[in-house]
Structure 1
Amino acid sequence: MILEKKNILFLRNKDMENNKIDNLENEIADPNLQDELIHEINEENKRNPLYKRLAIGFAVLLVVAFGLTWFLTNPPKEAYSGVTDFLETIFNKDLIGYLIVGLLAQMVDGALGMAYGATATSFLVSIGVNTMNASASIHIAEVFTTGASGLSHLKFGNVNKKLFKNLLIPGIIGAVLGALILSLLQKGTIFSEDNVKNYIRPVTMVYTMILGIIVLRKALVKVQVKNKITKVTPLALVGGFMDSIGGGGWGPIVTSTLISSGRAINYTIGSVNLAEFFVALSSSLTFIIFAGLDPGLWQVIIGLIIGGIFAAPFAALLVNKVKKKPLMIFVGCFIIFLSINTLLKIAFNIDTFKSLATGITNLF
């Protein structure tokens, strides 16, 4: 009887806490008035050791994903007999460059909730990796780096579990559908990946540029947002689909939309990053099964993974410690810059991001 009463009281308290968080999320969005929401979600995260369970799940999924990828791209005999040769081709001086690229790309993505693909692609192309191989490597590496990033955000209290759960399933469905459609289109030689990107990316970038302006305005001017996005399922579905079929879009579409609608910036970035692991895993496995993977890309992939995993905790700590208003200003400016750069690249073949990446890599 006593135990039953304790359980009833626990459930009532939990419902009250969840209602309090929901009510705070529905209040007028203002970076200066979100401290109470941040405190409530931190307390809720501490009471529920979700990150420990997710850590075990991540570890199992990563091992399964790596093993499945390896054996799908290598016959069993070669997989066992070529281990020594494989290690020699991976761990040499070329790995350092890919490791630095992974570190820089994950710092950007973990801190801003977007642009891992854009950052990594620009740096990889600048050091001699062709665009197609860069794209394939990034999709696989993202599975590992987003896992590390998501766990780091969870540990530092940057995750709203309710938002994460609402993003998870529709994001996975969208990612699988996008990867499946793109793989089938390529196999049937109806459209190339470049054709799809050239039609989809301009529309996406105009959309994200507008969102960037909204985020920047919200940080600089006290704007009262009365209609916050509460139904994130369609947003996650579109974000996952665009990320697979358009070569990127989960962060720019989902993160930008949620922040521009008034959600707390650190919880948006953390929750979107955590969900991105499952989105990346789903799309990568779909691509591998239906389109295959070049075994020669493992050095690039492993370099990106090591660098990204090393950077993930620092990026999550940065999001947790930096004040919300400066972070919103930086995120808004970065969204606008990324959108304009992509539009210039499509229209005039001008890539300022690549030029910047080349300049940085020349320093090394």
Structure 2
Amino acid sequence: MNFLVGIEGSFSDSVSGGGRGPVNTPALLSQSAIALRKVIGTVDTSEFPKTFSATAGFFISLGHQSFSWLLIASFVIGGVIAAPIATWRVKILPSSILGVLAGGFIIPTNARTLLSSIQASDEILTFVYTSLISGYLLIVIFPLRNYLRFKLLGKASKKTQP
């Protein structure tokens, strides 16, 4: 089942031009019992061969002059800087917080596309983004607070044991 989800997610992602994370991560999480950090690692690991294939296809069909090399360089630099940080973050954060972070990040990212399709005004964009970011921060705070409380209580109970 996971194999088919991966094929379907990658196919949809390649055809739509969307990022692998926003398409494949929720698909795998909704269809399987794989731990979130394994899902993120799996999706990220699959990016290289898929990106190589897509790049070859675009080079063949569009030619190298059709690309914005400065924009490509900026994406590469950002990705190279962010990748080790993301790997470290996935390693240390508990799944409950990772799930909220991953899921919550997808919503504002896709909201711009949805709001642009209806040609929303700047006031509506500001309201929607303020609401989304505020709600996102509140949702992140609860699992983080619970995690920290559990860690602190766990340490306190270990100190009181003989």
* Residue matched to 1:299: 70
1:43 — aligned with what?
A: none
Deviations 1:243-294 (A, max 9, x none): 2221215322211021234321111001110001111111111111112232
Residue 260 of structure 1, aligned match among 15, 23, 30 = 30
Tell me the alpha carbon deviations over residues 157-188 of structure 1, each in whole angstroms, 9 at most, x when there is no partner.
xxxxxxxxxxxxxxxxxxxxxxxxxxxxxxxx
Correspondent of 1:322 among 65, 72, 93:
93
How far does the alpha carbon of each residue in 1:127-152 deviate from its partner, in whole angstroms, 9 at most, with x for none? xxxxxxxxxxxxxxxxxxxxxxxxxx
Number of the residue aligned with 2:141: none
The separation in 2 between residues aligned to 1:280 and 1:345, in whole angstroms, is: 27
Choose the corresponding residue for 2:113, options 325, 342, 348.
Answer: 342
**Contact between 2:6 and 2:28, CA under 8 Å: does it hold in 1?**
no
In 2, Cα distance between equivalents of 1:337 and 1:310: 22
Q: Which structure is higher in helix share?
A: 2
Counterpart-to-counterpart distance in 1, 2:121 and 2:2: 34
Secondary structure class of the residue paired with 1:276:
helix
Find the counterpart in structure 1 of residue 40 from structure 2.
Answer: 269
TM-score normalised by structure 1 residue count: 0.31
Quick check: which has more Rg, 1 or 2? 1
Structure with higher RCO (Cα < 8 A, 6+ apart): 1
Whether the 8 Å contact between 1:341 and 1:350 is mirrored in structure 2 is no
Q: 1:350 to 1:312 in 2, by over 3 A?
A: farther
User: CA contact under 8 A between 2:10 and 2:20: conserved in structure 1?
Assistant: yes
| Alpha carbons of structure 1 residues 297 and 270: separation in structure 2 relative to 1, 3 Å | same
Distance of aligned partners of 1:298 and 1:318 in 2 relative to their CA distance in 1, 3 Å threshold = same
Report the Cα offset of residue 303 of structure 1: 2.9
Q: Residue 233 of structure 1 aligns to which amino acid in structure 2? A: F
Rate the CA distance shift 1:258–1:348 in 2: closer, same or farther, 3 A: same
2:9 corresponds, among 234, 239, 259, to 239
Query: What does residue range 9-158 of structure 1 map to in structure 2 within 5 Å?
Result: none
The CA RMSD measured in Å over matched residues stands at 2.7
CA distance in 2, matches of 1:308, 1:336: 20
For 2:43 and 2:30, locate their aligned partners in 1 and report how far apart those are by CA, in whole Å.
14
Q: Relative to 1, partners in 2 of residues 1:296 and 1:235: Cα closer, same or farther, differing over 3 Å?
A: closer
Aligned length: 125
Counterpart amino acid of residue 23 in structure 2: I
Which amino acid letter does the alignment assign opposite residue 17 of structure 2? G
- The 3-state SS of whatever aligns with 2:84 is helix
The aligned residue for residue 139 of structure 2 is: none
Q: Write the letter of the residue equivalent to 1:279.
A: K
Secondary structure class of the residue paired with 2:68: helix
Question: Residue type matched to 2:97 in 1?
Answer: P
2:55 pairs with 1:284: yes
- Structure 2 Cα separation of the partners of residues 338 and 303 of structure 1: 18
Q: How far apart in 2 are the matches of 1:302 and 1:340?
A: 26
SS in 2 for 1:248: coil
Per-residue deviation, residues 55-74 of structure 1 (Å, max 9, x unmatched): xxxxxxxxxxxxxxxxxxxx
Cα deviation for residue 299 of structure 1 reads: 2.5
334-343 or 247-256, which moves further after superposition? Answer: 334-343
Q: Secondary structure at the match of 1:348?
A: coil
State the alpha-carbon separation in 2 of the partners of residues 350 and 245 from structure 1: 29
Give 1:340 shift. 3.3
Q: TM-score, normalised by structure 2?
A: 0.64
Contact kept, 8 Å, 1:240 with 1:249, in 2: the verdict is no
Q: Structure 1: state its 5+ residue gaps.
A: 1-230, 357-364
Task: Tell me the percent identity.
Answer: 33
Paired residues for 1:155-234 under 5 Å: 231-234=1-4
Consecutive aligned runs of 4 or more in structure 1 exceeding 4 Å deviation? 349-353
Query: Match of 1:323, as an amino acid?
Result: P
Q: Which residue of 2 aligns with 1:251?
A: 21
In 1, Cα distance between the equivalents of 2:7 and 2:85? Answer: 29
